[in-house]
Amino acid sequence: MMSHTLVNNFLEYSAERLPDKVALIHQDKRLTYAEIEEMANRLALVLIDAGIERGDRVAIFMDNSIEAVLSLFAILKVGAAFMMINHTTKTRKLEYIMNNSRAKAMLTQGSRGDIIQGINCPHLKTTIMTDSHNSMLSCIPFETLLNSGKTDTVKSTYIDLDLASIIYTSGSTGEPKGVMLSHRNMVSAAHSITTYLENNQQDVIVNVLPLSFDYGLYQILMGFKIGGTVILEKSFTYPYQVIDTMIKEKVTGLPGVPTIFAILLQLKDIDKYDLSSLRYITNTAAALPVSHIKRLRELFPKAKLFSMYGLTECKRVSYLPPEELDKRPTSVGRGMPNEEVYIVNENGEKVGPGEVGELVVRGSNVMLGYWEMPEETAQCLKPGKYPGERVLYTGDLFKMDEDGYLHFVARKDDIIKCRGEKVSPKEIENVLYSLNGVLEAAVVGVPDKILGQAVKAFIALEKGSKITEKDILRFCSQNLENFMIPKHVEIRDSLPKTMTGKIEKSSLKKEQFSEIQTR
Amino acid sequence: MQLKFEIRHFIIDNFLYGQDDNDFRDDISFLEKGLIDSTGILELVSFVEEKYEISVADEELIPDNFDSVNKLSAFISKKIDDGK
């Protein structure tokens, strides 16, 4: 048995072992492991010709597509780190990420041309683009690479301590932070997760989550690791299409977030579809309402339902064994295999059952730190048990029950979880303040049946300003990723303040809760 | 024509926040344009069901019926005719 040391080994070993097996299904295309391996090698050689070297950063700015999968493996083969950037990212943030990481190359799609045209990135030397006929930018067309050129296998010259990926995540300060993950971090997380999910070669996993979200990305990585088949969907916009594919392909694994399950359960004929091939369902990012857990189990009695919890900084923290679901439906479970979790008080001392404290994670899945942000890194990575070891302070408050199972209490900062993705109120407020006419802005999360939390912006306008809620939303849509655009905007004469003159968000939040309760 | 006008109006108002983009033609794919996502489509379905008093079955909720002004107006017309 070949042991996986590097993330790209997931593809390479499966291509050796199961060359003719279908690895990836996307729309009407089916690609085998051997085909993907060959194309990833071709693309890697093109990157080498373009001067990409071990340690460089390369961006993938695409929606869920075969090209995005090929790109990530090609980048890894070269020894560079890939960065999956949400395809709805707008010019200003894209430029920030590209310049912050000093990425030398970008692989993208013609449809992103308008956004890319606006960025000024002195380090960016090479742009490789699919459907490039739509764009005026100078770039290498993606399609021609895959049908011509060299086909040698690229031999890796790097080790598992090298950087495999940087995943940008929202921070409470509003500046996106680049989570640095080594090959070892990612291999370790993938190994732990596939162990407790008991994944095997027969698994057919459907992924509707964006690859820019680590939960979506890992479906590809883990599916390839086990030699299974991954069905990559663009999104869950047309649920029936996804269900139809799930039935035809006899899907065994369905990863989702509460928003996806809420949509699924709203379908009129959900109980009529034959999804008996489902072996497991996973949920993370936010807790499923107990009523949804009940309904999912009625609909899919043969499928094991895993409630999980995690953060990009270590990928996954915990999972609840399905057999514990009846006993503790609101728990997110215990640490994964090969990982230790504990709760500490404000002095960093471990606390006992029932006591609330910050959750700490110890394991080889814990990130290397935030890219070029030593202060932020020092706040969450602190010395561990042995010299040089660092453990992750999650910023999430938890308590443990008598049997060692974790129960989420609250976050220490004001990050909003919307559709399972972290949204930084500060990042949205920064955008709002840049709109002429906005005097004050405060963004909070409000409860929402489908989204979990919806983003709501409270605005006070400068005297004489005539801007409307629509103007504000339009401005947000031009500057923020789609999932960050507020669902609600409320313009007020003024916003409530604390004694020291700061905007008092807690009272805005309280109003929202009481409004919902009285409805 | 009236039907297309109403659909356009709804899309522009709700997904383009009132901005009538000159590029926004009746044959443009909502998905490719990034206008509609999994929660947006739910809003679109409720609009169509309430406004035109039709019921959209799960199987009908596919891009062929919903993914552009043209496709949606053809779908709604057919549903209204079928209901007569």
What CATH number is associated with residue B12? 1.10.1200.10
Distance from CA of B2 to the nearest CA of A (A): 24
Contact A191, A4 (CB under 8 A): yes
Contact B11, B68 (CB under 8 A): no
Instruction: Give A236-299 as a DSSP string.
Output: SSSHHHHHHHHHHHT--EEEE-HHHHHHHHH-TTGGGS--TT--EEEE-SSPPPHHHHHHHHHH
Distance from CA of B48 to the nearest CA of A (A): 16
**A263 vs B17, B32, B38: nearest CB:** B38
* Partner-chain contact B34 A239, CB within 8 Å: no
* Partner-chain contact A267 B58, CB within 8 Å: yes
Question: What does the pLDDT average to over A381-393?
Answer: 96
Q: What is the domain partition of chain A in residue ranges?
A: 1-182, 416-518
Question: What does the pLDDT average to over A26-34?
Answer: 97
Distance from CA of A3 to the nearest CA of B (A): 39
A411, β-bridge pairs: A396
A12, A419, A18: which is closest to A203 by C-alpha?
A: A18
Within an 8 Å CB–CB cutoff, is residue B37 touching chain A? yes
Within an 8 Å CB–CB cutoff, is residue B63 touching chain A? yes
Question: What does the pLDDT average to over A209-223?
Answer: 97
Q: What does the pLDDT read at residue A273?
A: 94
Q: What does the pLDDT read at residue A417?
A: 86
Q: How confident is the model at residue A519 (pLDDT cuts 50, 70, 90)?
A: very low
Owning domain of residue B37: 2-83
Distance from CA of A376 to the nearest CA of B (A): 33
Q: Summarize pLDDT for B41-84 with one digit per residue, the tens.
A: 999 999 999 999 999 999 999 999 999 999 999 999 999 998 76
What is the ipTM score, two decimals? Answer: 0.90
Count of domains observed in chain B: 1
Name, in order, each residue with C-beta under 8 angstroms of A315's C-beta and a sequence gap of 6 or more.
Answer: A181, A185, A186, A189, A193, A214, A218, A365
Res. A518: pLDDT tops 50: no
Q: How confident is the model at residue A44 (pLDDT cuts 50, 70, 90)?
A: very high
Res. A363: pLDDT tops 70: yes
Domain A416-518: give its CATH code.
Answer: 3.30.300.30
A313, A290, A328: which is closest to A361 by C-alpha?
A: A313
Write phi, then psi, for A263 (nearest 5 degrees): -65, -45
Q: How confident is the model at residue A148 (pLDDT cuts 50, 70, 90)?
A: low
A276-292 exposure pattern, b = at least 16 Cβ within 10 A, e = fewer: eebbbbbbbbbbbbeeb
Q: Domain A1-182's class?
A: alpha beta
Q: Summarize pLDDT for A450-474 with one digit per residue, the tens.
A: 888 899 999 999 999 999 999 999 9
A418, β-bridge pairs: A421, A452
* Partner-chain contact A235 B63, CB within 8 Å: no
Of the two residues A415 and A190, the one the predictor is more confident about is A190
Within an 8 Å CB–CB cutoff, is residue B28 touching chain A? no
Contacts of A234 in chain B (CB under 8 A): 31
Distance between CA A208 and CA A218 in Å, rounded? 12
A299, A356, A311, A307: which is closest to A334 by C-alpha?
A: A307
Return the percentage of chain A with pLDDT > 70, whole number.
Answer: 97
Type of residue at B18 = G
Candidate ranges A271-275, B12-16, B19-23; pick with highest mean pLDDT: A271-275
* Partner-chain contact B38 A477, CB within 8 Å: no
Contacts of B31 in chain A (CB under 8 A): 234-235, 237
Give B3's Cβ-side CA count (13 Å radius). 15
**A235 vs B17, B18, B38: nearest CB:** B38
Distance from CA of B16 to the nearest CA of A (A): 7
Within an 8 Å CB–CB cutoff, is residue B62 touching chain A? yes
Mean pLDDT of chain A: 93
Place of tokens 């910023």: A395
Q: Summarize pLDDT for A467-494 with one digit per residue, the tens.
A: 999 999 999 999 999 899 999 999 999 9
**B58 vs A87, A237, A268: nearest CB:** A268
Q: Summarize pLDDT for A90-143 with one digit per residue, the tens.
A: 999 999 999 999 999 999 999 899 899 999 999 999 999 998 876 667 788 888
* Partner-chain contact A259 B57, CB within 8 Å: no
**A268 vs B36, B41, B57: nearest CB:** B57
pTM, two decimal places: 0.92
